Structure 1
Amino acid sequence: MSVAVFTFGLNHASAPVSVRERVSLSADLLKPALAGLRAAFGGAVREAAILSTCNRTEIYCAAEAQAAETLPFWLAEHNRLDTDLLQPHLYRHDQDSAVRHAFRVASGLDSMVLGEPQILGQMKDAVRAADEAGSLGMLLHQLFQRTFSVAKEVRTQTAIGAQSVSMAAAAVRLSERVFGQLDQARVLFIGAGEMIELCATHFAARKPRSMMVANRTVERAESLAGRFGAHTMKLADLPDRLADFDVVVSCTASSLPILGLGMVERAIRQRRHKPIVMVDLAVPRDIESEVARLSDVYLYSVDDLGHVVQSGTDARRAAVVQAEAIIDTRVQGFMRWLQSREAVPVIHDLQQAAADVQAAELERARRMLARGESPEAVLEQLAHGLTQKYLHGPMAALNRSEGDERRQLLAMVPRLFPGKDARR
Structure 2
Amino acid sequence: MFVISLNHKTSEAGFREKLAFDEIKRISFLNRLKDEGYTQVVYVSTCNRCEIYSVGKSSKVVSVWADMAGVDIDELKESLLFFDGKGAVNHLFHVAAGFDSMVLGEDEILRQIKDAYQFSKEKGFTDYELNTIFQAAISCSKKIKTKTKISKTAVSIASLAAKKIHGFKPGKKKVMIMGATGDTGNKVLLNLLSYGDCKIYATKHIHHIGNPNVESIPYSEIYDYINQMDVIVSATKSPHYTITAGKLKNIELDDKKRLFVDLAVPRDVDEDVVEFKGIDLITIDDFSAIAKENNVLKKKEKENGESIIEDELDTLLKDLTFHNNREGFELMKTTCKEDFEHFVYKFKDIASAEEFDSFMNVLNKMQEV
- Cα distance, 1:20–1:313 mapped onto 2, change above 3 Å: closer
Amino acid at match of 1:99: V
- Taking the aligned partners of 1:102 and 1:9, their CA distance within structure 2 comes to 10
Q: How many residues align?
A: 345
Instruction: Please say if residues 29 and 65 of structure 2, whose CA atoms lie closer than 8 Å, have aligned partners that are also in contact.
Output: no
1:80 Cα deviation (Å)? 1.0
Report what 1:140 is aligned to.
Answer: 130
- Cα distance, 1:46–1:10 mapped onto 2, change above 3 Å: same
Instruction: Please say if residues 96 and 110 of structure 2, whose CA atoms lie closer than 8 Å, have aligned partners that are also in contact.
Output: yes
Instruction: Say whether residues 1:12 and 2:8 are aligned partners.
Output: yes
Report what 1:74 is aligned to.
Answer: 64
Amino acid at match of 1:248: I
Instruction: Please say if residues 212 and 225 of structure 1, whose CA atoms lie closer than 8 Å, have aligned partners that are also in contact.
Output: no
- Taking the aligned partners of 1:313 and 1:304, their CA distance within structure 2 comes to 15
Q: How does 1:84-99 map to 2 (within 5 A)?
A: 84-99=74-89
- Taking the aligned partners of 1:69 and 1:295, their CA distance within structure 2 comes to 50
Q: How does 1:346-357 map to 2 (within 5 A)?
A: 346=328, 350=331
Amino acid at match of 1:408: I
Report what 1:190 is aligned to.
Answer: 178
Instruction: Please say if residues 103 and 295 of structure 2, whose CA atoms lie closer than 8 Å, have aligned partners that are also in contact.
Output: no
User: CA offsets, 1:356-405, max 9 Å, x none?
Assistant: xxxxxxxxxxxxxxxxxxxxxxxxxxxxxxxxxx79xxxxxxxxxxxxxx
2:215 to 231, 253, 260: 231
1:260 Cα deviation (Å)? 1.2
1:279 to 261, 268, 273: 261
Report what 1:211 is aligned to.
Answer: 200
**Structure that is richer in helix per residue:** 1
User: CA offsets, 1:241-269, max 9 Å, x none?
Assistant: 322221111111111111112123445x4
Instruction: Please say if residues 166 and 195 of structure 2, whose CA atoms lie closer than 8 Å, have aligned partners that are also in contact.
Output: no
Amino acid at match of 1:201: L
RMSD over aligned CA atoms reads 2.9
- Taking the aligned partners of 2:79 and 2:118, their CA distance within structure 1 comes to 27
Amino acid at match of 2:49: R
Question: What TM-score results when the alignment is normalised by the length of structure 2?
Answer: 0.85
Instruction: Please say if residues 187 and 208 of structure 1, whose CA atoms lie closer than 8 Å, have aligned partners that are also in contact.
Output: no
- Taking the aligned partners of 1:293 and 1:93, their CA distance within structure 2 comes to 42
Instruction: Please say if residues 30 and 129 of structure 1, whose CA atoms lie closer than 8 Å, have aligned partners that are also in contact.
Output: no
- Taking the aligned partners of 2:224 and 2:245, their CA distance within structure 1 comes to 14
1:59 Cα deviation (Å)? 1.0
1:346 Cα deviation (Å)? 4.5
For residue 40 of structure 2, give the secondary structure of its aligned residue in structure 1. Answer: strand
Instruction: Please say if residues 49 and 61 of structure 1, whose CA atoms lie closer than 8 Å, have aligned partners that are also in contact.
Output: yes
Report what 1:305 is aligned to.
Answer: 287
Report what 1:52 is aligned to.
Answer: 45
Amino acid at match of 1:30: R
Q: How does 1:380-391 map to 2 (within 5 A)?
A: none
Identity %: 26
Report what 1:337 is aligned to.
Answer: 319
For residue 278 of structure 1, give the secondary structure of its aligned residue in structure 2. Answer: strand
1:90 Cα deviation (Å)? 1.0
For residue 299 of structure 1, give the secondary structure of its aligned residue in structure 2. Answer: strand
Report what 2:241 is aligned to.
Answer: 257
1:334 Cα deviation (Å)? 1.8
Report what 1:35 is aligned to.
Answer: 31
Instruction: Please say if residues 34 and 48 of structure 1, whose CA atoms lie closer than 8 Å, have aligned partners that are also in contact.
Output: yes
1:101 to 91, 97, 104: 91
Instruction: Please say if residues 166 and 192 of structure 2, whose CA atoms lie closer than 8 Å, have aligned partners that are also in contact.
Output: no
1:298 Cα deviation (Å)? 1.1
Amino acid at match of 1:54: C
1:288 to 253, 267, 270: 270
Report what 2:341 is aligned to.
Answer: none
- Cα distance, 1:85–1:315 mapped onto 2, change above 3 Å: closer
Amino acid at match of 1:292: V
1:131 Cα deviation (Å)? 1.1
Moved more, 154-163 or 169-178: 169-178
Amino acid at match of 1:297: I
Question: What TM-score results when the alignment is normalised by the length of structure 1?
Answer: 0.74
For residue 236 of structure 2, give the secondary structure of its aligned residue in structure 1. Answer: coil
Structure whose alpha-carbon radius of gyration is higher = 1
Q: Which runs of 5+ in 2 are unaligned?
A: 337-348, 352-369
- Taking the aligned partners of 1:312 and 1:258, their CA distance within structure 2 comes to 30
Instruction: Please say if residues 26 and 52 of structure 1, whose CA atoms lie closer than 8 Å, have aligned partners that are also in contact.
Output: no
User: CA offsets, 1:31-54, max 9 Å, x none?
Assistant: 333223212x13xx1311111111
1:22 to 18, 29, 33: 18
Amino acid at match of 1:321: E
User: CA offsets, 1:168-227, max 9 Å, x none?
Assistant: 22223322443223x1x2111101201111100111223345211114xxxxx3426646
Amino acid at match of 1:95: G
1:124 Cα deviation (Å)? 0.9
Instruction: Please say if residues 31 and 129 of structure 1, whose CA atoms lie closer than 8 Å, have aligned partners that are also in contact.
Output: no
Q: Which runs of 5+ in 1 are unaligned?
A: 216-220, 355-389, 392-406, 410-424
Instruction: Please say if residues 35 and 133 of structure 1, whose CA atoms lie closer than 8 Å, have aligned partners that are also in contact.
Output: no
Instruction: Please say if residues 250 and 282 of structure 1, whose CA atoms lie closer than 8 Å, have aligned partners that are also in contact.
Output: yes
Report what 2:108 is aligned to.
Answer: 118
1:160 to 145, 150, 153: 150
- Taking the aligned partners of 2:329 and 2:182, their CA distance within structure 1 comes to 50
Instruction: Please say if residues 167 and 306 of structure 1, whose CA atoms lie closer than 8 Å, have aligned partners that are also in contact.
Output: no
